[in-house]
Amino acid sequence: MDVVSVLRPVTKCITDTTRNVVLHQLAVKSHKKARIISCEDLKRCQEGATLRIPELLDALEENHTPLLRYRFYGYFAAFTASITIIARGYSVTSGFARSKRPQRRTSLGMRVL
């Protein structure tokens, strides 16, 4: 009786994996896993955006052009996306959340990261 109760789920799994739908699902899952952004890339994105955002804010104060504004939006979106991904637990170390860097403010009173 115990052998039959073990064999039934095993044979069901074998027949399920031979179906085209399951094979397609496995292929899609492996393709999605191949596109996952690595923790090193996220950290590099954070560091690059942290360096570039203050420069763009200063440049926007001097010369407010659409090109600078769009660049700022791009870096800010990448920065917030990388923090959101790290905060959701995809990375073990964030290191950025409580940095010891002194806070700087722009002439408009905005805090710079």
Span 57-88, pLDDT tens digits? 999 999 989 999 999 999 999 888 888 765 55
Q: Mark whether 30 and 60 lie in a shared domain.
A: no
Domain that holds residue 90: 37-113
Q: Mark whether 1 and 51 lie in a shared domain.
A: no
Residue 30 clears pLDDT 60, i.e. is over it: yes
- Give the list of residues 6+ apart from residue 57 with CB closer than 8 angstroms, or none: 72, 106, 110, 112
Residue 90 clears pLDDT 60, i.e. is over it: no
The pLDDT of residue 33 is 85
Collapsing DSSP states into helix, strand and coil, what is residue 88?
A: helix
Residue 101 clears pLDDT 60, i.e. is over it: no
Nearest to 53 by CA among 32, 41, 69, 31: 69
Domain count, the chain: 2
Q: Mark whether 72 and 29 lie in a shared domain.
A: no
The C-alpha atoms of residue 40 and residue 91 are separated, in whole angstroms, by: 9
The C-alpha atoms of residue 45 and residue 79 are separated, in whole angstroms, by: 7
Q: Mark whether 86 and 46 lie in a shared domain.
A: yes
Q: Mark whether 92 and 52 lie in a shared domain.
A: yes
Q: Mark whether 27 and 61 lie in a shared domain.
A: no
Contacts 24+ apart (CB under 8 A), 55-58: 57/106, 57/110, 57/112, 58/106
The pLDDT of residue 56 is 93
Confidence tier at 92 by pLDDT (50, 70, 90): very low
Specify the DSSP element, H or E, that contains 42: helix 39-62
Q: Mark whether 4 and 51 lie in a shared domain.
A: no
Specify the DSSP element, H or E, that contains 47: helix 39-62
DSSP category for residue 90: I
The pLDDT of residue 108 is 57
Q: Mark whether 74 and 51 lie in a shared domain.
A: yes
